[in-house]
Amino acid sequence: MSVWAIIVAAGVGERAGGGVPKQYHDIGGQPVLRKTVLAFLNHPEIAGVRVVFNPRHDDLYQKAVGDLNLPAPVRGGKSRQESAYLGLQALEDNPPGFVLIHDAARAFVSQDVISRVIETLKRTRKGCLPALPIPDTIKRREGSAVAETVDREPLILAQTPQGFKFEDILKAHEAAIGKGLTDDAAVAENAGFEVVMVKGDKANIKLTVKEDFIIHVTDVRTGTGFDVHAFEDGDQVILCGVKIAHDQKLKGHSDADVGLHAITDALLGAIGEGDIGDHFPPTDDKWKGAASDIFLKHAIKLVTDKGGRVSSIDLTLICEAPKIGPHREAMRKSIAAITGVEVARISVKATTTEQLGFTGRGEGIAAQALATVIFNE
Ligand code: CTP
Ligand code: MG
């Protein structure tokens, strides 16, 4: 027996605000509704998806999912219950064996949750909903005063998609009209159908208020950096702010800390801020012999000023000598101290080039870095 999905998307999203209904807000570069619909279209056991919408939002609807392989959307009603019922009626001509009803506003639904509901629905032929225990202490209030603490053990948080035998839930909806029920499990319970639980998912939240979008939409950006400095006569090199005794030094306008330069460029790259030379021109005598932590601190400030946070830094030093291994931890700590990023998010690696090329001949040191920066929108 086939499984269809009904996505109820006819609400106005009053609590979320923002000019257009929340199912058309952008989330990580795509409309909420598109992300939700794709989760079901991409699921191998879903035979088809029917969206219930408000025709007043047709332009938004077309922009969001007009290019996807969907049957015409169904006109919704004044309540969620009415919208779900209209969606079910639209499937009546060619009824599926099972149906999953899902909130458009739950865009983070995982393939696993969908699979769990389908598996249990097919096995038990009972109504099925994803549920979670309640993490907070629950109180009953009287006005603005706390009346008592409620035992939360028997309480659950109900999510969607909720799955049913199509005929059962269609009949149950007929009996629920006007009762103000807020999910389809309540409709099934009202009709005396048994509903069982499967494990829900904390990420499967119903985007409801503006803050839900702030917490969940993260903008992750990455940048790469690469730098080379040649050796010249000397007695130590400075790598990642760590002084290492060596029979040569690195040649450069500043202190030639090739590791910090690569990291600085990676951070600038992640935020589209050019490169180290744009910010600290080598023609400017001011930077002669400068300690390179100045450059890195500047890049961190630019990231922070733009509202970003460094999530990770990964650096590879490429040379035959000096040996990096004994200094790796000191380098990670030094980068952490300069950037304010915790050591666990900083990686320093090293490789030789098997005596090939300029690094292999010991003519200099190369460094490449990758930085990940996170923005909350
Ligand atoms: N929904 C619907 N038809 C309605 C009301 C709600 O299809 N008449 C849908 C919403 O689009 C949403 C889901 O039901 O995907 C859950 O409802 P809710 O989170 O309450 O969304 P809204 O009603 O749009 O939001 P609000 O209550 O803040 O106005
Ligand atoms: Mg509502």
212 CB less than 6 Å from ligand 1?
no
Residue 80 alpha carbon to ligand 2 centre in Å: 7
What is the three-class DSSP state of 281?
coil
Ligand 1 center to residue 63 CA distance, Å? 20
pLDDT, tens digit, 9 for 90 and up, residues 183-231: 999 999 999 999 999 999 999 999 999 988 875 557 899 999 999 999 9
Residue nearest to atom 1 of ligand 1 (CA): 11
Residue 184 Cα to ligand 1 midpoint, Å, equals 13
Confirm or reject: Cβ of 209 under 6 Å from ligand 1.
no
301 Cα to the center of ligand 2, angstroms: 42
* Cross-strand partners of 318: 351, 366
Q: Is the full-model pTM beyond 0.75? A: no
Return mean pLDDT, the chain: 95
List the structure tokens of 345.
Answer: 């998010």
Residue 164 bridge partners (DSSP): 99
Q: State the closest ligand 1 atom to the C-alpha of 11, by its place in the atom list counted from 1.
A: 24
Instruction: Tell whether ligand 1 has an atom less than 6 A from the beta carbon of residue 180.
Output: no
DSSP string, 149-178: EE--TT-EEE-S-EEEEHHHHHHHHHTTTT
Q: What ligand is nearest to the CA atom of residue 22?
A: 1
Q: Which residue has the tokens 């409309």?
A: 31
- Report how far residue 224's alpha carbon sits from residue 358's, in angstroms, rounded to the nearest whole number: 21
Mean pLDDT of all residues in 366-372: 98
Give the dihedral sign, CA 74/78/81/82. negative
Determine if ligand 1 sits within 6 Å of the CB of residue 86. Answer: no
Residue 23 in contact with ligand 1 by CB distance below 6 A: yes
The reply to whether ligand 1 has any atom less than 6 angstroms from the CB of 12 is yes
Tokens for 297?
A: 């601190």
Residue 84 has pLDDT above 60, yes or no: yes
Q: What percent of the chain has pLDDT over 90?
A: 89
pLDDT tops 70 at residue 62: yes
Residues listed for the chain: 377
CA 146 / ligand 1 centre spacing (Å): 30
CA distance 30 to 11: 19
Identify the pLDDT of residue 217.
56
> Does the beta carbon of 109 sit less than 6 angstroms from any atom of ligand 1?
no
What integer pLDDT is reported at residue 142 of this predicted model?
Answer: 97
| 312 confidence band (pLDDT: 50, 70, 90) | very high
Least confident among 195-204, 257-266, 279-288: 279-288
Task: Name the closest ligand to CA 16.
Answer: 1
CB of 75 sitting under 6 A from ligand 1: no
* Residue bearing tokens 């005596």: 355
By CB neighbour count within 10 A (0-12 exposed, 13-18 middle, 19+ buried), where does 52 fall?
A: buried
Is there an atom of ligand 1 within 6 Å of 15 CB? yes
For a pocket test of ligand 1, which of 50, 78, 103, 157 has the largest count of ligand atoms closer than 8 A to its C-beta?
103
Q: Is 328 touching ligand 1 by the criterion CB < 6 Å?
A: no
Contacts of 323 (CB under 8 A, 6+ apart): none
Could you give the count of Cα atoms lying within 13 Å of 302 in the half-sphere of its Cβ? 20
Q: Is the peptide bond before 71 cis (omega within 30 degrees of 0)?
A: no
- Is 207 near ligand 1, meaning CB less than 6 Å away? no
For range 348-375, the mean pLDDT = 96
Backbone angles phi, psi at 374, to 5 degrees: -115, 135
Over 90: is that where the pLDDT of 303 sits? yes
Per cent of the chain over pLDDT 70 is 98
Q: Does residue 377 have a pLDDT over 60?
A: no
pLDDT digits (tens, 9 = 90+) for 15-50: 999 899 999 998 877 899 999 999 999 999 999 999
Instruction: For the chain, list the strands marked E by DSSP.
Output: 3-9, 26-27, 30-31, 46-53, 74-75, 98-103, 127-133, 138-142, 145-150, 156-158, 162-165, 195-199, 218-233, 236-239, 242-245, 248-250, 308-318, 346-351, 364-376
Q: What is the dihedral of CA 163, 169, 172, 173, to 10 degrees?
A: 100
Q: Counting atoms of ligand 1 from 1, which one is nearest the CA of 14? A: 29
